[in-house]
Chain A
Amino acid sequence: MPTKWGMGMIPEKFIEFAHGPSIMFVGSRNAKLRPTMTFAFGALVDGGEATVTVFIPEIEGAKTFENLAENGRTSLVLVDAASHESYQFKGQHRETRPCTDADYTVQEIYLSKLIAHLEPFGYGEDLWNGFVHRPARAVTFAVEDIFVQSPGPGAGEKIELS
């Protein structure tokens, strides 16, 4: 069933992946088609509406916020650093707003999962708690496409939204 943005719903597997301990990067570009990227820490997926909200720290987010306000094209990559499983969500920016206490709670839960997941590989608390996570903005975009991004020849395969 199409969402109010006219897209299909996000399959459950990808909702779970986005809510899991994956490393998150948000790509965008400016009016001159020069790209940039920043970290996001935590995501909330509305599968039915096919939207994803990610929490981007303001300390490195300025260009991304500017790009998304200017043209809205959004690329979110989620990487499980332990297994190399990775997906890219592409879509159109809908809203940027300051994070609420509820958003920061989701961010804290995300960080605890990420640290627990990557601690056995030596990438635990020292690495992830060293980032300046706050203040952050909640950036919501409507997902139009999801692509497999795991390394290998299958990278780039498009996932059908249900």
Chain B
Amino acid sequence: MLPEEIKPAMQGMVPSTLVSCSLEGEPNTCEISQVWYVDENHVALSHQFFNKTHRNIRANPFAFVAVRDLEALREWHLELQYERSETEGDLFDDMDMKLEAIASMTGMSGIFKLLAADIYTVLSVRESNSRGAV
């Protein structure tokens, strides 16, 4: 489902935007440092804090994320469903290392700590036409 062209938007060069929703119907929007490409049907998000997003996703697994490739000036919109969390393994180690690199680059070393790699199934993907490209 995920096209090859989306991969540059998942390098963590610029933040992505994640929206979740509580069971009471309250949307919650936040910036996240990176969306990881797992395979053509899955992405991973970093679970760093026990925050509102974390609580929402555990209660209501549906989420929306926008990822951006500013070199190509393209934005992609993904509808997601939370599947599982991983706290060890290659994906977790890779995310942990890249998260620390992003934290260093943005002067936030020590603030970010990976608790889990949350794996999501991609329900839909489309390129945003906010620049009139489609």
Which residues does A use to contact B, with CB under 8 Å?
25-29, 32-39, 57, 59-60, 71, 73-77, 79, 84, 86, 88, 90, 123, 126-127, 130-132, 149, 151-153, 155-156
Interchain CA distance A29-B132 in the complex, whole Å: 24
Further contacts, 6 of them, CB under 8 A, given A131-B131, A132-B130: A39-B130, A71-B25, A73-B25, A74-B27, A77-B17, A79-B15
- Nearest A residue to B60 via CB reads A33
Contacts of A74 in B (CB 8 A): 27
Contacts of A37 in B (CB 8 A): 17, 19, 29, 64, 66, 77
Contacts of A79 in B (CB 8 A): 15, 31
* In the complex, the 6 A-B pairs of residues with the closest C-beta atoms, listed nearest first: A27-B29, A35-B19, A27-B19, A27-B27, A75-B27, A29-B21
Q: Given A59-B130, A73-B25, A151-B111, check contact A25 B51 (CB 8 Å).
A: no
Q: Given A127-B73, A132-B130, A149-B30, check contact A29 B51 (CB 8 Å).
A: no
Contact A59 B132, beta carbon cutoff 8 Å: yes
Interface residues of B in 1-37 (CB under 8 A from A): 15, 17, 19-21, 23, 25-31, 33
- Nearest B residue to A88 via CB reads B29
- Nearest B residue to A74 via CB reads B27
Contacts of A86 in B (CB 8 A): 31
Q: Is the interface of B mostly helix, strand, loop or mixed?
A: loop
Q: How many residues of B contact A (CB 8 A)?
A: 35
Contact A36 B29, beta carbon cutoff 8 Å: no
Q: How far is the CB of A148 from chain B (nearest CB, A)?
A: 11
Which residues does B use to contact A, with CB under 8 Å?
15, 17, 19-21, 23, 25-31, 33, 49, 51-52, 60, 62-64, 66, 70, 73, 77, 79, 106, 108, 111-112, 128-132
Interchain CA distance A33-B21 in the complex, whole Å: 6
Q: How far is the CB of B113 from chain A (nearest CB, A)?
A: 9
Contact B79 A25, beta carbon cutoff 8 Å: no
Contacts of B25 in A (CB 8 A): 29, 33, 71, 73
Contact A88 B79, beta carbon cutoff 8 Å: no
Contact A34 B62, beta carbon cutoff 8 Å: yes
Contacts of A149 in B (CB 8 A): 30-31
Contacts of B49 in A (CB 8 A): 153, 155-156
Q: How far is the CB of B14 from chain A (nearest CB, A)?
A: 8
Out of B23, B112, B130, which one reaches A131, CB within 8 Å? B130
- Nearest A residue to B32 via CB reads A151
Q: How far is the CB of B22 from chain A (nearest CB, A)?
A: 8
